[in-house]
A and B are shown apart, each in its own frame.
Chain A
């Protein structure tokens, strides 16, 4: 495996209309254009406002617990016998994943816009929990849309959201999963635009969401870049992060885009295998189309209907992907690969037993790819893996898969 990195200027994207090359944009009904434009304007006014950024920094430090550590997994690196692996510990954030970086930012924005009610979609429940958390803190009404299939699979997160005061609305339409929850949240938003702010959890949706969520998540890469310079005295050779919608990966990648010597690997869910129909590897196996307000790669049938995806990790189980990833793929700046359920599980166990860190199944996909990549590189090379979330939420899935009753 070679480390590749091309020099392109991707930092100026998206353009004024939210395009990343041919991807992104705004593919929404006219009824949503008003609220989306209001949001874009509000974000544009605040994104470089020193007072807003100071407020955000304070919340990230004191409420989320940032900066998250960059941890050199020495024992595991030695075991793999190649490059040194550093883990960006987003699992140590409040609520246990990177999702809170974005919900804190959007909730502050909602408050500045005078909105009193927030809504969110969620698949595994992590973004729902992160949204319910910030809503509780700001005393906002919170409604979370969740596919009824996902509600069955993620009972603990559903209860967690309810404890935080959120209303969890089961979505019975379509495949009853994340994509349908997103449709339903859009429908709520268009009906209640006067008082409602829609907190999208990933780098998808109509402009400005892919840009805004990226900006809020880019704290991951900014910290990691400074931390590796401090700890190793140089930039890494490769970055590895899992990609469902792609928010943790963009968060890590974006501040390194101009560092042409840094290779980037986005790891999708191969589920039961890319050769089967049971995967969620949108960039590896999909093709460009339009869904949820943006043009991007999709998993769809020959007629353009969106089809159900599969992954052991609910957070990667999405038939679309952020438009910036579509652009990074086509431009060659990042490489997208896929890891199966079984490979992810093996990495889950390996990290737990070797380093005493239990990763989320989503992050386990990135770790599994690192186990393939590291041995192909010399021991003085450096890989940073985004450990996007902690694995406590997944222990029932792991146990059930292995025939163990907890």
Chain B
């Protein structure tokens, strides 16, 4: 069984909701990331979403764009990111790690080689932002061969037909993008999200994570009341950016934000 499935099964048994922090790998410098991943686990992260830096992050707002640029100044490549996961795994064998990124670096490495290397490094799932199901078959086949979960986005504009099609290709969980827009810009409207999640639940048994627009503990708690997992990205990455010049302080800042969200989520029954 995949680490992601075990993770969600355990959370369901305990009636808890998953907290999934996102950070861009190598931001603001490569030596920060692995230690930050461990610190996030200690602060209550159930799954870690690790962003693979890309020069043209079309779906991301200014915060994550800037994170990509900081990481790319250090030439952080997909292979470097896999190296970070491998290092993380030497001390953590249970927390699922999902890579989130864009297709082109994977194209360059080759689908089969990427699947092999990701599996070997200890990656559990892959979310390729610019790969809709229509184009995804070849990569999904390779990832499945290695028992890696394939995570897809669902949007407010996804029709019932598309939701069904996407969920048929997805495994691990599905990621509902809570608003029309890019990462980290607007704020979430929880009642609209709740309505859409009902529609999605009618079409799949997969756990549903919700992200884009969760800015604080209060909105995290609101989302936790309706979703299976709360994905927090830009809020954390913004903090990383603020302390890019003092990397030794990043862990403490991110951990404090995350711990606050953890408490708020756990208070939801």
Interface bits B44-81 vs A (CB < 8 Å: 1, else 0): 00000000001111110110011001001001011100
Residue of A30, A186, A292, A307 near B132 (CB, 8 A) is: A30
Q: Are A30 and B104 in contact (CB under 8 A)?
A: no
- On chain B, the residues within 8 Å of A298 by CB distance are 104
- On chain A, the residues within 8 Å of B186 by CB distance are 191
Question: Which among A31-39, A132-140, A394-402 touches the partner chain?
Answer: A31-39
Q: Are B130 and A290 in contact (CB under 8 A)?
A: yes
Q: Are B129 and A29 in contact (CB under 8 A)?
A: yes
Q: Are A26 and B132 in contact (CB under 8 A)?
A: yes
- Interface size on A, as a range, is 35 or more
Residue of A30, A35, A289 near B107 (CB, 8 A) is: A289
A304: interface (CB < 8 Å): yes
B155: interface (CB < 8 Å): yes
- On chain A, the residues within 8 Å of B152 by CB distance are 30
Q: Are B132 and A33 in contact (CB under 8 A)?
A: yes
Interface bits B178-193 vs A (CB < 8 Å: 1, else 0): 0011100110000000
Given known A190-B182, A303-B108, contact A33–B162 (CB-CB < 8 A): yes
Q: Are A305 and B62 in contact (CB under 8 A)?
A: no
Q: Are B132 and A300 in contact (CB under 8 A)?
A: no
A54: interface (CB < 8 Å): no
Q: Are A191 and B181 in contact (CB under 8 A)?
A: yes
B134: interface (CB < 8 Å): yes
Find the A residue at minimum CB distance from B162. A33
Tell me which residues from 141 to 179 in chain A have a Cβ below 8 Å from any Cβ of chain B.
173-174, 179
Shortest distance in angstroms between A17's beta carbon and chain B's nearest beta carbon? 6
B123: interface (CB < 8 Å): no
Q: Are A193 and B157 in contact (CB under 8 A)?
A: yes
Given known A33-B132, A290-B130, contact A304–B105 (CB-CB < 8 A): yes
Given known A174-B56, A183-B58, A306-B56, contact A31–B153 (CB-CB < 8 A): yes
- On chain B, the residues within 8 Å of A192 by CB distance are 180
- Interface size on B, as a range, is 35 or more
Q: Are A290 and B157 in contact (CB under 8 A)?
A: no
Shortest distance in angstroms between B81's beta carbon and chain A's nearest beta carbon? 10
Task: Name A's interface SS.
Answer: mixed
Find the B residue at minimum CB distance from A194. B180
Q: Are A33 and B155 in contact (CB under 8 A)?
A: yes
Give complex CA distance A288, B106 in Å.
12
Given known A173-B65, A174-B55, A186-B58, contact A25–B105 (CB-CB < 8 A): no
B264: interface (CB < 8 Å): no
- On chain A, the residues within 8 Å of B56 by CB distance are 174, 179-180, 183, 291-292, 306
Give complex CA distance A26, B103 in Å.
12
Residue of B62, B102, B180 near A190 (CB, 8 A) is: B180
Give complex CA distance A17, B135 in Å.
9
B158: interface (CB < 8 Å): yes
Task: Name B's interface SS.
Answer: loop
Find the A residue at minimum CB distance from B181. A191
Q: Are B182 and A191 in contact (CB under 8 A)?
A: yes
Find the B residue at minimum CB distance from A29. B59
- On chain B, the residues within 8 Å of A304 by CB distance are 54, 78, 104-109
Find the A residue at minimum CB distance from B109. A304
Residue of A35, A193, A288, A293 near B130 (CB, 8 A) is: A293
Give complex CA distance A341, B156 in Å.
47
Shortest distance in angstroms between A168's beta carbon and chain B's nearest beta carbon? 18
A27: interface (CB < 8 Å): yes
Interface bits B143-179 vs A (CB < 8 Å: 1, else 0): 0000000001111111100100010000000000100
- On chain A, the residues within 8 Å of B109 by CB distance are 304
Q: Are A300 and B108 in contact (CB under 8 A)?
A: yes
Q: Are B104 and A187 in contact (CB under 8 A)?
A: no
Tell me which residues from 73 to 105 in chain B have a Cβ below 8 Å from any Cβ of chain A.
75, 77-79, 102-105
Shortest distance in angstroms between A175's beta carbon and chain B's nearest beta carbon? 8
Q: Are B108 and A289 in contact (CB under 8 A)?
A: yes
A28: interface (CB < 8 Å): yes
Q: Are B78 and A29 in contact (CB under 8 A)?
A: no
A302: interface (CB < 8 Å): yes
- On chain B, the residues within 8 Å of A305 by CB distance are 54-55, 72, 104-105
B11: interface (CB < 8 Å): no
- On chain B, the residues within 8 Å of A290 by CB distance are 102-104, 107, 130
Give complex CA distance A302, B154 in Å.
31
Interface centre among A27, A34, A35, A191 (most CB of B within 10 A): A27
Tell me which residues from 271 to 319 in chain A have a Cβ below 8 Å from any Cβ of chain B.
288-293, 295, 298, 300, 302-307
Give complex CA distance A183, B68 in Å.
14
Find the B residue at minimum CB distance from A193. B180
A-B contacts, 12 of them at CB < 8 A, read A25-B135, A27-B135, A28-B132, A30-B154, A31-B181, A34-B155, A179-B56, A191-B180, A193-B180, A288-B107, A290-B107, A305-B105
Closest 8 CB pairs of A and B: A34-B157, A304-B108, A304-B105, A303-B77, A191-B181, A30-B153, A29-B59, A305-B55
